[in-house]
Amino acid sequence: MNLIFKKARLIEPGNSFHNQVIDIKIKNGIIEKISPNIQSEESFKEIELDNLHVSVGWFDTSVSLGEPGYEERETIANGLEVAAKSGFTGIALQPNSNPIIDNQSQIHFVKQKASGFSTELYPIGALTKNSDGNDLAELFDMKNAGAIAFGDYNKSLDNANLLKVSLQYAQDFNGLIIAFSQDSNIKGKGIVNEGITSTELGLKGIPALAEELIIARNLFILEYTGGKIHIPTISTSKSVELIKEAKKKGLNVTCSVAVHNLFFNDEVLKGFDANFRVTPPIRTEEDRKALINGVLDGTIDCITSDHNPIDIEHKKLEFDLAKNGTIGLETAYTALQTILPTDIIIEKLTSGRKIFGLSTLSVKEGEKANISLFTPDENFEFDEKNILSKSKNSAFIGSTLKGKVYGIYNQGKLQLQ
């Protein structure tokens, strides 16, 4: 599709057109011209949207879909449509399907199912066979098949030696190890953050220590082995400090935070809404502010929706019986726009590409057009009718959000809401 985006404000710090209103001419999927005013051409479709902002395409580092095995939660096809309409030109797919994505045939399967969509899918391979934490999966074979990293979704490795071996082994092919951090013994039967709110509600708590202890252990192991590690969805103030210190030492560590951990504190649990039952748990206001500061000072490298669809049979239950997880693709940008500057949001929604070893992008003449389309204007209340996913388990229902995502242009295709 050949088109011209009219009157678009580019958000890309470091680009000579940053924060300027420009026209962008795209021919056969390549940016042919960028100028303050491009003349109309008969063979080019013009796209003009209210207060249009554009940036390099967003990349979500943690998305669960369900297929294969849990198609009632979400399919790959619909999930990629949701991602596109939510502004994401690329997603990293978690391996928590049924069967677990722990071998090259499963990598090939999900890549084949994702072929032809405007949003690109990049599979994460399981770190251990069946994600059971006992034996390493076929890491090198999965890497060759297209896996961009290796981790067991929301499962922490109890076996410290297995993490050591995986970090040593992955260095042979520049593999990235994802190390979710939560001590299962200290967590015990906890389901929410341990604190005043959990005590008031009579819900079993998960101490911040459960996360921090494993992060400290994993960083010690990284210091010993070398290699590179990504710590996903951190949730406590101490976790931010531990990673900041590790970076000062020169360790090759990156981390992410989930949008809902930046947006909510554990006061929201008082309604016993199971959509707020997530992993890691929503923490205190002090933790929330520390996470925001960690984003602003660069300690936290990227922000993820941590999109995790759960069908109604497993979510619309009593709080202590419901499965963990919230969907988040549809609300990622508009929730962040209420708490962070737009430049920072775009940086944190695009920096994951470099962390996961993908080519970095730019809105420049001669480059492939990989673009997210949005506007930061207007507050609105998010409700169930805004949900595009098959599953409706959103923690953001009833929240006041800001801005709007128009869609994306990628793979030579324009996809708008």
Do 202 and 258 belong together in one domain? Answer: yes
Q: Give the model's pLDDT for residue 343.
A: 96
Do 25 and 168 belong together in one domain? Answer: no
Q: How confident is the model at residue 222 (pLDDT cuts 50, 70, 90)?
A: very high
If one counts the domains in the chain, the total is 2
**Which of 182, 109, 188 is closest to 147 using CA atoms?**
109
Do 45 and 145 belong together in one domain? Answer: no
Catalytic sites, residue numbers: 306
Do 262 and 338 belong together in one domain? Answer: yes
Averaged pLDDT, 20-32: 96
As a whole number of angstroms, the distance between CA 336 and CA 342 comes to: 8
The answer for residues whose C-beta is within 8 angstroms of residue 383's C-beta and 6 or more apart is 397, 398
CATH number at residue 390: 2.30.40.10
Do 216 and 280 belong together in one domain? Answer: yes
Residues in the chain: 417
As a whole number of angstroms, the distance between CA 197 and CA 200 comes to: 5
Give all strands (DSSP E) within 280-399, no chain letters.
Answer: 302-304, 371-381
Which residue, chain included where needed, has tokens 């520049």? 174
> What are the distances in angstroms from CA 199 to CA 46, 190, 203, 206?
57, 12, 7, 11
Residue 260 domain-assigned (yes or no): yes
Q: Give the model's pLDDT for residue 52.
A: 97
Give me the amino acid identity at 256: S
Residue 360 domain-assigned (yes or no): no
State how beta strands 45-47 and 3-10 pair. parallel
Q: How confident is the model at residue 417 (pLDDT cuts 50, 70, 90)?
A: confident
State how beta strands 177-178 and 229-231 pair. parallel
Do 67 and 159 belong together in one domain? Answer: yes
In degrees to the nearest 10, what's the CA dihedral of 142, 148, 149, 152?
-70
Residue range 46-84, pLDDT digits in tens = 999 999 999 999 999 999 999 999 999 999 999 999 999
Do 110 and 186 belong together in one domain? Answer: yes
Do 346 and 390 belong together in one domain? Answer: no
Do 104 and 202 belong together in one domain? Answer: yes
Query: What is the residue range of 397's domain?
Result: 3-53+366-416
CATH number at residue 305: 3.20.20.140
State in Å, rounded, how far the first CA of the chain is from the last one. Answer: 17
Averaged pLDDT, 346-358: 97
Instruction: Compute the half-sphere exposure of residue 135: CA atoms within 13 Å on the CB side of its CA.
Output: 6
In degrees to the nearest 10, what's the CA dihedral of 169, 136, 90, 219?
-60
Q: How confident is the model at residue 90 (pLDDT cuts 50, 70, 90)?
A: very high
Which residue, chain included where needed, has tokens 């967003």? 58
DSSP string, 90-110: EEEEPS-SSS-S-SHHHHHHH
Which residue, chain included where needed, has tokens 């580092």? 61
Asked if residue 414 lies in contact with residue 31, where contact means CB atoms within 8 angstroms, the answer is no
Instruction: Based on DSSP, count helices (H) and strands (E) in the chain, helices before strands.
Output: 14, 18
Instruction: Compute the half-sphere exposure of residue 273: CA atoms within 13 Å on the CB side of its CA.
Output: 16
Q: What is the pTM of this model?
A: 0.96
Which residue, chain included where needed, has tokens 């996470």? 291
Averaged pLDDT, 174-198: 97
Residue range 300-318, pLDDT digits in tens = 999 999 999 999 999 999 9
DSSP string, 135-164: SB--HHHHHHHT--EE--TT---S-HHHHH
Do 67 and 122 belong together in one domain? Answer: yes
Mean pLDDT of all residues in the chain? 97
